[in-house]
Chain A
Amino acid sequence: MPVKSSKIDTKNLVKLLNQLCERLADRPIKVMEVCGTHTVTAHSTGLHSLLPDNLQLISGPGCPVCVTPAGFIDQAARLALEHDVQVMTYGDMVRVPGIKTSLEDVRRQGGKVSVVYSINDAIAVAQQEPNQKIVFLGIGFETTAPATAFALQRAQNEGIKNFIVLCAHKRIIPAMEALLNDPAISIDAFLAPGHVSVIIGAGAYDFIATQHRRPCVVAGFDGEQMLMGLVQILTQLVAGQVKVENVYRSRVTEQGNRQAQKIIDEVFTPSMSIWRGLGAIEQSGLNIRPAFADLDARNIFDLGPPEDFEPSGCRCAEVLKGLIQPSECKLFAQQCTPSAPVGACMVSREGSCSAYYKYHKAGAAS
């Protein structure tokens, strides 16, 4: 039952957006989305081409694969090659270049790296092969973190001792706050991510309105939802209002999913975390609590914190902050393409550079 929006008059939404922007014609407006799925929808639906000249929709650090530091990949690679573990992960991570290697390279060298749709599949393999250590890569925002938490609880309760997690989960709110506090970045409003918001609730963004005096609207993932969100943001700006609104009310509540928040709190504790491109951000990561130390790869293996690294010439850091368009990077569509990515933003389907390459390459690369 996907949200079908056939009754919604998108032409009217675009017209309203233009009328609202005309009222602010002397003012360039920059709206940031922080969700890889929004990034792809904005490109695939042609939303960018419908926006008035003074309204820019920029992509922030919303792709979890893109913001996972390069050193994390090398740590996972070491586990597969030096400790004879089977690394299991969500698909996009396999091709991400680390500092020295990628998990795809590890697989070519004979290392055990598998892709799973769900962490439940990794648990099942751990049960079927009790003598094989399984290391699941815990990546993603609050949408994915409850699944990892549940798996750790289940492994502990059922005594599945060969199931281990290498955790790099991220929390979106501290990253949004870091962007708002960065004087080099000017953001007029946020279009907040739909499915992270299902977990954390629309109320989690209140600080954007109350402390930073910017509008924020939660939106789902089709073009109509994003258009409705932008109309609400512009309506606020024209009216001189700042508040958090939610056009995805059919799925996102004010409080979010309390059960999911509870399980995250039971298993993880907020911690400083390194974001590729953004550096270290306090409270922006999730560490596994000591009660689950026997299942925590960072406790079992001598890994240390993952290093951050950007390849020479790669401008993913600026892309992730919305400071430049992918086409402004000299590597874009030249040395860095989806088939031979240099930077993380070109790897994931939801990365800004990948989406830009897929939908605008001809114009951008010329």
Chain B
Amino acid sequence: MCLAVAGKVVELDGCHAVVDVQGNRVNAVTILVPEVKVSDYVLLHAGFAIAITSRQEHDEQHRIFKEIEKHARQILQD
């Protein structure tokens, strides 16, 4: 039930947005992310944007992976 999908805000009118989710145009309420702007990427859950996400999410995930790997190796060497 807590499943959410990410998409790009393509239209914004007050607290109502149209979000492009992999080519589908989805209506969303943006009351929970009042700072959102057109072209931001948001996380959508049950018709509500619940977070603004980073465009560089992919790279950030990789940075976290490298950090975890390095830390685990250090602990294993101790």
Contact = CB atoms under 8 A, between A and B. Distances in A.
A119 B46 contact: yes
Interface residues of B, number: 40
B58 A198 contact: no
Given A16-B73, A23-B76, A259-B33, A2 B6 contact: yes
Contact of B48 (A2, A150, A251): A150
A187 B34 CA distance: 38
Given A146-B48, A238-B76, A257-B32, A232 B2 contact: no
Q: Is the interface of A mostly helix, strand, loop or mixed?
A: helix
Given A118-B46, A259-B32, A259-B34, A16 B54 contact: no
Contacts of A251: 43, 51, 53, 57
Contacts of B69: 9, 12-13, 16, 231
B13 to A, nearest CB: 14
B61 A8 contact: yes
Contacts of B2: 35-37, 64, 140-141, 143-144, 193-196
Contact of B65 (A1, A147, A150, A228): A228
Given A118-B48, A250-B57, A263-B32, A140 B68 contact: no
B46 A198 contact: no
B31 interface: yes
A216 to B, nearest CB: 15
B38 interface: no
Contact of B76 (A20, A36, A120): A20
Contacts of A23: 76
Interface string B26-39: 01010111100000
Contact of A150 (B5, B7, B31): B31
B68 A117 contact: no
Contact of B51 (A119, A228, A257): A257
**Interface of chain B: mostly helix, strand, loop or mixed:** mixed
Contacts of B76: 16, 19-20, 23, 238
Interface string B59-76: 011101100110111011
A338 B78 CA distance: 48
B32 A146 contact: yes
Residue of B64, B68, B72 contacting most chain A CB atoms (<10 Å): B72
Given A8-B61, A235-B72, A119 B4 contact: no
Interface string A193-213: 111101100000000000000
A143 B34 CA distance: 17
B5 A2 contact: yes
A92 interface: yes
Nearest to B41: A1
9 contacts: A8-B61, A16-B72, A143-B45, A199-B50, A221-B3, A224-B61, A224-B65, A225-B61, A231-B68
Interface of A: 1-5, 7-9, 12-13, 16, 19-20, 23, 35-37, 63-65, 90, 92, 117-121, 139-141, 143-144, 146-147, 150, 193-196, 198-199, 221, 224-225, 228, 231-232, 234-235, 238-239, 247, 249-251, 257, 259-260, 263, 348, 350
Given A195-B2, A348-B1, 20 more contacts: A1-B7, A3-B6, A13-B65, A13-B69, A16-B73, A36-B1, A63-B1, A92-B1, A118-B46, A118-B48, A147-B47, A150-B48, A196-B2, A198-B4, A198-B50, A232-B68, A234-B72, A235-B72, A238-B75, A251-B43
